[in-house]
Amino acid sequence: MDITLALGGGGSKGNAHIGVLRVLEREGFRVRAIAGTSAGGLVAAAYAAGFTPDEIEAHMLEVNQHKLYGMLPRAEPALLSLDGIEHAISTLIGERTFNDLQIPCAFTAVDIRSSKEVILRDGRVIDALLATIAVPGIFPPKLWNDHLLVDGGVLDPVPVTLARLLAPKPPVVAVSLMPPRRDWEKYPVGKMISQPSVLKPVSRLRMAQALDIFLHSVEISERMLTALRLEIDKPDAIICPPVHDIGVFDRIDISDVVKRGEQGAELALPALRAMDRWQRKLTRLFRPSNFQRFA
């Protein structure tokens, strides 16, 4: 069955997307286009470039998580540098442009000057990725043509509409790394940063507690925005990997998070298969021979 994927953001939790892709491939689903926001964009880019889920996981296992974040060496309106993440991306994606990708792929970002969403689907992939993952205030914004861009999750945490734009015919499967509303009490807000070591670069500025409160508030907004956007955009199916106890900037066991992505996809298989059955019925119903018979 052909599908289009919309991969949501979530920082460290984004590794769950690898497990989702592994299960979808195993079950015979063919990804015809893929859209991503923030961390979802990283996995989307690697998959669209032709890397298998196994290859993406192997690359992530080689990344030194202790070197992903650090203080900015220059005066910019941000707390942490993206240099470590940029290096990790470049060793996998290299100088590829969107034209080099094997399937349609795009990311979302937000122009902080115009307050509008910007679709990234041209030029170097790595430049677009540095924009879609630029959490405002935490990482430096990315200058893209005449736009000053920050994390696409500010307006569109799971890019369902963009996925439909890339491939209008296949059903859209959304992968959300935020807990569904029914689980909000089970997973209270406050896990954006659960490991104090991540805050060491800013602790000398006595901002660690303020940053934690800020990110706590951001997650409250992001949970509500994700729920509302999914209700409005109406993906054909939603996969929610059980990663809600993981902080966005946590240092994690990569294989464990990938496994959780597999678990989330496996739980969603009945809904995905039902979606396939409905598509087959509609295809049979709207065959030209049926129109002739009804005439």
Q: Dihedral (C-alpha) 218, 232, 25, 106: value to the nearest 10 degrees?
A: -70
Average pLDDT, the chain: 86
Give 145-174 pLDDT, tens digit per residue: 889 999 999 999 999 999 999 999 999 999
pLDDT confidence of residue 284? 47
> Does the pLDDT value for residue 288 go beyond 80?
no
Average pLDDT over residues 180-203: 62
Give 48-107 pLDDT, tens digit per residue: 999 999 999 999 999 888 777 766 656 667 778 888 899 999 999 999 999 999 999 999
260 occurs within a structural domain: yes
Q: What is the CATH number of the domain that holds 18?
A: 3.40.1090.10
CA distance 193 to 19: 23
108 occurs within a structural domain: yes
183 pLDDT band (50/70/90 cuts)?
Answer: confident
Count the alpha carbons within 13 Å of 225 in the hemisphere toward its beta carbon: 16
Q: What angle do CA 284, 234, 149 make, to 5 degrees?
A: 130
Give 95-129 pLDDT, tens digit per residue: 999 999 999 999 999 999 999 999 999 999 999 99
286 pLDDT band (50/70/90 cuts)?
Answer: very low
pLDDT confidence of residue 53? 98
107 occurs within a structural domain: yes
Give 226-263 pLDDT, tens digit per residue: 999 999 999 999 999 999 888 888 888 999 999 999 99
120 occurs within a structural domain: yes
Enclosing domain of residue 105: 2-290
CA distance 191 to 16: 17
216 occurs within a structural domain: yes
Reported pTM: 0.87
> How many secondary structure helices (H) and strands (E) does the chain include?
10, 10
295 occurs within a structural domain: no
Number of structural domains (the chain) is 1
Count the alpha carbons within 13 Å of 79 in the hemisphere toward its beta carbon: 20
Count the alpha carbons within 13 Å of 195 in the hemisphere toward its beta carbon: 14
247 occurs within a structural domain: yes
183 occurs within a structural domain: yes
Handedness of CA 253, 226, 34, 42 (dihedral sign): negative
User: How is residue 217 written in tokens?
Assistant: 């508030």
User: Hey, how many other C-beta atoms are within 10 angstroms of the C-beta on 35?
Assistant: 34
| Residue 113, phi then psi, degrees to nearest 5 | -85, -40
pLDDT confidence of residue 184? 74
CA distance 90 to 129: 10
